[in-house]
Amino acid sequence: MSAATSPSRIVDAVVVGAGFAGLYMLYRLRELGMTTRVFEAGDGVGGTWYWNRYPGARCDVESMQYSYSFSPELQQEWEWTERYPQQEEILRYINHVADRFDLRRDIQLETRVTAATWDEGQQRWNVTTDRGDQLSARYLISAAGCLSAGRVPEIEGLESFQGQWYHTGNWPHQPVDFSGQRVGIIGTGSSGIQAIPQIAKQARQVTVFQRTPNFSIPAWNRPLSPEQQKEWKARYPQLREQARNTRSGILYDYSQRGTFEVDEPERQREYERRWERGGANYTHAFNDIFFDRAANDQAAEFVRSKIRSIVKDPAVAAKLAPTDHAIGTKRICVDTDYYTTFNLPHVSLVDLKASPIEAIVPGGIRTADATHEFDSIVFATGYDAVTGSLDRIAIRGRDGLALKQKWADGPRTYLGIMTAGFPNLFFITGPGSPSVLTNVVVAIEQHVDWIARCLQSMQQRHIEVAEARTDAEDQWVDHVNEVADKTLFPTTASWYTGANVPGKRRVFLPYVGGLGNYTAICEQVVADGYRGMRLDPVPAVEGAAPRTGGNVSAPIDAT
């Protein structure tokens, strides 16, 4: 239910997006007594979990960890049903949160923010939407998500296709019935790897078009027993605190041992133990997997050997076994029955490196050496990640500079939270923050808490304009690159580097230094009086919009 549209409103904050980040930001802004308008493009809350309704959609972070920690009551009362939560269950949880904390009254659904322009005179953001709303906001906060701008590749002839086509990230709200159909699926990232086994259960014929094989570890998903939940809940405060201090915000079994500190039989036992346990925990079997190619090769070869042992046709197994990138440097996939699906007689694999797609034709997909006939085509082709959702909004900062223009050579931020020249614009899980390399709910809570604390401090000190300093931003960008260069991540063309979007500047987008370290840096920035930021009082401008939150008082230069 969307609240009524009200043109030319004056609010303290506009928040873009009502997923995990937008909802929690709204909650915290309310605590600060700030008037807030949240705009959400979907007709419901939930962000990525609202849009991703494809068969098999499931989070690859375990349920007991992939949830908010800000409310002890919430985390005690909510019951998860499975080890890894299904999309439908996560969406139910997010809706419960929206109701429980009475958040909906400040959320306007089915509305996209289209433009935001910094008004130098008023020291506020003028925000417009595709519904004709016009707002004046002191703060603009992006909770637009890192994986929300879906990408259907530009393949010639798509408009001529006579069947149905779908993108995993914008799936119909009614279940799609593939029974009896011939289905072509393009893409073998996390989404494709989850969807393929489910679609194969229904369809008469499934053809998977793979450009690059991915490493996938079994989820071994199972129901969560009441006892397991009780155990977690009894220790939630400690466990959450521990998780916040890890690299990924997830309680994995992080090994302290190097790959070559143990002998070959012990190495294999460790990989096997992790494989049997399931999930992305596998990539932490030894502490050098992300840093040392020889160590990485050992972990990768174990997975390749598993693929060869599961997939009966050696030629298919060879195509499915990745050899072109270090394991973990593309987001590791977590699956249910992915590799066994290729043993089914009605499932086949097309290697696009050997036979690229030339065109989509009325009857299906034409590759270099065959035409494949389909009733439906599924694009599991991913996202314009991290920056794509911001690029869709015409954001203009000081002197009319467009954010897109400022970031033409790659995004530049301070802490992933702010960017110089765009005062009072905050990003939740922005480029240059750990975001997509973490349990994003933990990263979101850290960001929202930091931003809320910053705004509170500004309120208390009667400061109304915050902006990243260019020198601090430059140093942060250097640091992000320096840390990435110590790992194997930049050796792989992936969406982490923008390589999946033709023409997108290749920059390593997230901060790979670890969430725990990153949080410590953010805390030190606060302890140093918001080092790296300019905090200015609002100048007394004639005709300036009235303040709508906090108190007007004497200016203090906090830098």
Give contact residues for ligand NAP (rule: CB under 6 A).
58-60, 147, 153, 168, 186-192, 194, 209, 211-212, 331, 334, 352, 357, 380-383, 436, 495, 500
How far apart are CB 63 and ligand NAP at their closest, in Å? Answer: 12
Provide, rounded to whole angstroms, the least separation between the CB of residue 330 and ligand NAP.
7
Q: Write down the least CB distance from residue 335 to ligand NAP, Å.
A: 9
- The neighbouring-strand residues paired with 186 are 209, 379
With a CB cutoff of 8 Å and minimum separation 6, the contacts of 309 are none
Nearer to ligand NAP, 88 or 474 (CB): 88
478 CB-near residues (< 8 Å, 6+ apart): none
The residue among 85, 115, 117, 114 whose CA lies nearest residue 20 is 85
Q: How many residues does the chain have?
A: 559
* Residue 88 CB, nearest approach to ligand NAP (Å): 14
Long-range pairs for 469-475: beta carbons < 8 A, 24 or more residues apart? 469/414, 469/420, 469/532, 469/533, 469/534, 470/420, 470/421, 471/532, 472/414, 472/531, 472/532, 472/533, 473/412, 473/413, 473/414, 473/418, 473/419, 473/420, 473/532, 474/412, 475/532
Residue 315 one-letter amino acid: A
Distance CA 258, CA 500 (A): 32
The rounded distance, in Å, linking the Cα atoms of 34 and 139 is 10
Q: Judged by CB, which is closer to ligand NAP: 58, or 284? A: 58
Residue 373: CB minimum distance to ligand NAP, A: 18
Question: Shortest distance, CB of residue 501 to ligand NAP, whole angstroms?
Answer: 9
Phi, psi of 236 (to 5 degrees): -50, -50
CA 245 to chain centre: 19
Distance of CA 536 to the CA centre of its chain: 32
Nearer to ligand NAP, 45 or 196 (CB): 196
In angstroms, give the least distance from the CB of 110 to ligand NAP: 24
Q: Which amino acid is at 200?
A: A
CB of residue 508 to ligand NAP, shortest distance in Å: 15
Residue 119 parent element (H or E): strand 113-119
Q: How far is the CB of 244 from ligand NAP (least distance, A)?
A: 20
18 vs 23: CA distance, rounded Å:
5
Looking at beta carbons only, is 125 or 511 nearer to ligand NAP?
A: 511
Per the CB < 8 A criterion, the answer to whether 125 and 117 are in contact is yes
Closest to ligand NAP by CB, 168 vs 198, is 168
Cβ neighbours around 546 below 10 Å, total: 6
* Dihedrals phi, psi of 531, to nearest 5 degrees: -55, 140
Residue 28 host element (H or E)? helix 20-31
Output the smallest distance, CB 514 to ligand NAP, in A: 17
Name the one residue in this structure whose structure tokens are 């020889």: 294
Q: Which is nearer to ligand NAP, 165 or 260 (CB)?
A: 165
Q: Which is nearer to ligand NAP, 190 or 259 (CB)?
A: 190
The alpha-helical segments, DSSP class H, found in 417-497 are: 440-460, 470-485
469/397 Cα distance (integer angstroms): 14
Q: Helices marked H in 247-363 — which ranges? A: 264-277, 293-310, 314-320, 338-341
Give min distance, CB of 59 to ligand NAP, in A.
4
Cβ closer to ligand NAP: 186 or 203?
Answer: 186
| Residue 222: count of CB within 10 angstroms of its CB | 11
Q: How far is the CB of 172 from ligand NAP (least distance, A)?
A: 17
Residue closer to ligand NAP, measured from CB, 54 or 275: 54
Closest to ligand NAP by CB, 171 vs 178, is: 171
User: Can you tell me the distance from the alpha carbon of 202 to that of 271, in angstroms, rounded to the nearest whole number?
Assistant: 33
Give the residue nearest to ligand NAP (CB): 189
| Count of H-run helices and E-run strands, the chain | 16, 20
Residue number, 147 or 415, with CB nearest to ligand NAP: 147
- The backbone torsions φ and ψ at residue 344, rounded to the nearest 5 degrees and listed phi first, read -75, 140
Looking at the Cβ atoms of 189 and 432, the one nearer to ligand NAP is 189
Question: Helices 236-244 and 226-234, interaxial angle, to 10°?
Answer: 70
How far apart are CB 203 and ligand NAP at their closest, in Å? 19
CA–CA distance, 431 with 414 (Å, rounded to integer): 9
User: Closer to ligand NAP at the Cβ: 93 or 495?
Assistant: 495
Helices 440-460 and 515-527 sit at what angle, rounded to 10 degrees?
A: 0
**Closest CB 548 distance from ligand NAP, rounded Å:** 37
Going by C-alpha positions, the residue among 429, 409, 408, 407 that lies closest to residue 419 is 407
Nearer to ligand NAP, 144 or 535 (CB): 144
Structure tokens at 143: 């909770």
